[in-house]
Amino acid sequence: MDAANGPHDHPNINKKTQAMNDMGGHDRHSPAAPLAQPEAVQILSFLEAFSDEVEGALDLVAPNAHLRMMMHLLQGHLDGKTVTPTSLIGASRVPYATANRRLKEMVDAGLIEQRPRTVTGKSFSMHPSEAMIETWMQLSGRLRRLGETTFGGPVRVQDTRDYYFGGSYIAAQSIPPLRVLHEPLKVSGGLRVLVHGDPTFMVMDTLKRQFEQVIGTEISQRAFSIDRLREEALRNATRDASRYDIIAVDLPWIGEFASKDVLMPLDDAMDLARLDPADFHTAGWQGAHWGGRPYGVPAQTTPELLFYRHDLFAKAGLEPPSTTESLLDAARALHDPQRGRYGIAWNAARGTPLGHTVLMTFADFGQPIVDLPEQAGGFDTEHLSRGQYRATIDTDAGLAAAEFLLELLKYSPPDILSMSWYERVRPYAAGKVAMAYGYTLLAPYFELDETSPAYGQTSYLPHPPAPGKRPVAPVGGYVMGIPANLAPERVPAAVEALRVFTSPEAQKLYVQNGSRTNPRYSVGADPDVRRLSTIFEAVDGMSWRDELQFWPRPPVPEIGDIFKICGEEFHDMLRGIVPPREALRRAQDRADALIGQDRTP
């Protein structure tokens, strides 16, 4: 994987070890960042050890070839390792002829799928079939319950809350491991993917070998900083044929990328029902649309939340902040520069980072950045593709938001005006600030680092709103889409890989390996996932309360430049160069000129 970075983005992420170090200071196999062990994997390890003990204790007990081969095959699948007939026969621990017969029986029973490894078709890799995986998941649950009943272990209480998916209620279930495709993808040179260099996509790169096993072809992944990613995607659209089969797209870019034919409408390329759209968080799925058509599949739904140290709040006798006023009160009370601790950290670096903060702060005061019509729970973005909108910056709500940011500045670290995406969370993880605005994808900085003062001491809230306004958790994250100029012969493979990468099984795998983003209800309800972090239950609750909203960063084609305009003018305001009203007027004038220019034939 190649990586290219901008001035305010995650540095040195082109290697797995550095990526994981930046996600909490440890490699993912270190004690501070343990790999999640779902129930099915724990049972697999137990049963293998149990078989060793029984066979070792009693010479008369012969190895169970079917069981031994099944365990070896499942372990190889979970580890992303190639399993051959020879290695399966070796794992059986019975004579070759016997093992060969047992292997044929498993293939005939539909438990093992064979995939050709060479063009001659004489060499095969072996993979667990859907039937084997389903059987194993059911067996794991029964064995766990049997152990708890027999040995008196802690009986788990079933979460009886219902989760609604497209018209039916289902109980929370453990999502099975990824299944290999029945036929490997046939795409010349392997699959080429362009992504953002953030922790979730770095986890995806760490799991590259396993995904290659699943789709049956090599994967080449390039990672860029947010600004460089947008530039490369736009440059790619000007080429005769796309260099990438799949590209990651920041949600606010959807309008621009759809209008400029950067992305292919998904309903032109695939049957959308295969994605199970009702399983995606509503705001994330809606945010992938422009003009009523989907242009990407949510790969990350990562709202910006308020991270706060509940231990420090309890010690100071403070309630969790529920309004902008109580947030300032808490920041003031916990701000102690003499002892090296500050009230709050946020995106305040000049340009795009601060621009995001401005738009989200406007939302806290009930003000979208363009004139959107109000609707139940927020504002309507359906009409944006018609171009009938104007900037709404120089308003009374805008002034209140600007004054709030000036007040927030007083209780921030001294280097706040150079802090961006990662810089705001690092001091929070180090215990230097009591609160931070941050996307859920940044939570691994402290959730996976047991040495962090914030480890196990963090709670999550939507943005505290201005008095009388609704709480909002502005939705961020990325969708994965197919370039409009992708060669037609590569589209079917891109569609199939896109489905795999965004499936519940893949999303669960990302979470188990360190990600803290999730676009699907089913994954947030998975018991293995919910045991890993309270962040998933918190985000699910916000989604049900309709607090997850993407209108704070509306996907208009001009949004990238609007970020920069607000980030420049408000930065001058925070530095004391211009007063709030002047910053608002200048930003309004520049945005008006931008939108007017874009509409000029």
Mean pLDDT over 251-258 rounds to 94
pLDDT value of position 2? 42
167-184 pLDDT, tens digit each: 333 345 688 888 888 889
pLDDT value of position 122? 73
- Tell how many helices (H) and how many strands (E) occur in the chain: 25, 20
Count other Cβ atoms within 10 Å, centred on residue 120: 7
pLDDT value of position 31? 30
Lowest mean pLDDT, pick from 49-58, 399-408, 461-470: 49-58
Q: Which residues contact 40 (CB under 8 A, 6 or more apart)?
A: 136, 137, 140, 174, 176, 177
pLDDT value of position 96? 87
587 pLDDT more than 90: yes
pLDDT value of position 63? 85
Separation between Cα atoms, residue 118 and residue 124, nearest integer Å: 8
Per-residue pLDDT band for 257 (boundaries 50, 70, 90) equals very high
Question: Residue 18 class from Cβ within 10 Å (0-12 exposed, 13-18 middle, 19+ buried)?
Answer: middle
The pair of three-digit structure tokens given for residue 20, joined into one six-digit string: 């994981």
Contacts by residues 166-171 (CB-CB < 8 Å, ≥ 24 positions apart): 166/276, 166/277, 166/278, 166/279, 167/278
pTM to 2 decimals? 0.73
463-481 pLDDT, tens digit each: 999 999 999 999 988 999 9
148 pLDDT more than 80: no
Residue 305 and residue 533 in contact, taking contact as beta carbons nearer than 8 Å: no
228 pLDDT more than 60: yes
Per-residue pLDDT band for 32 (boundaries 50, 70, 90) equals very low
pLDDT value of position 383? 87
CA distances from 339 to 335, 446, 597 (A): 9, 21, 51
Mean pLDDT over 574-585 rounds to 98
534 pLDDT more than 50: yes
The length of the chain in residues reads 601
The pair of three-digit structure tokens given for residue 420, joined into one six-digit string: 């961006």
Helices 96-108 and 85-92: angle between axes, nearest 10 degrees:
120
The pair of three-digit structure tokens given for residue 220, joined into one six-digit string: 């080449």
User: Which DSSP string do the residues of 110-127 spell out, in sequence order?
Assistant: TSEEEEE-STTS--EEEE
The better pLDDT of the pair 593, 57 is held by 593
User: Which DSSP string do the residues of 489-547 spell out, in sequence order?
Assistant: GGHHHHHHHHHHHTSHHHHHHHHHTT-----BHHHHH-HHHHTT-THHHHHHHHHHTT-
Separation between Cα atoms, residue 564 and residue 570, nearest integer Å: 10
Mean pLDDT over 130-159 rounds to 70
The better pLDDT of the pair 526, 141 is held by 526
Question: Residue 118 class from Cβ within 10 Å (0-12 exposed, 13-18 middle, 19+ buried)?
Answer: exposed
The pair of three-digit structure tokens given for residue 230, joined into one six-digit string: 């947008």
Per-residue pLDDT band for 94 (boundaries 50, 70, 90) equals confident
159 pLDDT more than 60: no
334 pLDDT more than 50: yes
pLDDT value of position 114? 83
Separation between Cα atoms, residue 221 and residue 577, nearest integer Å: 43
Mean pLDDT over 564-581 rounds to 98
Mean pLDDT over 32-56 rounds to 67
pLDDT value of position 319? 97
Mean pLDDT over 383-388 rounds to 88
Q: Which residues contact 570 (CB under 8 A, 6 or more apart)?
A: 354, 355, 358, 402, 405, 583, 587
pLDDT value of position 173? 66
Separation between Cα atoms, residue 222 and residue 244, nearest integer Å: 9
pLDDT value of position 347? 96
Q: Which residues contact 536 (CB under 8 A, 6 or more apart)?
A: 511, 518, 523, 524, 529, 530
Q: Which domains does the chain have, with CATH numbers?
A: 39-138 (1.10.10.10), 175-301+477-541 (3.40.190.10), 303-475+548-598 (3.40.190.10)
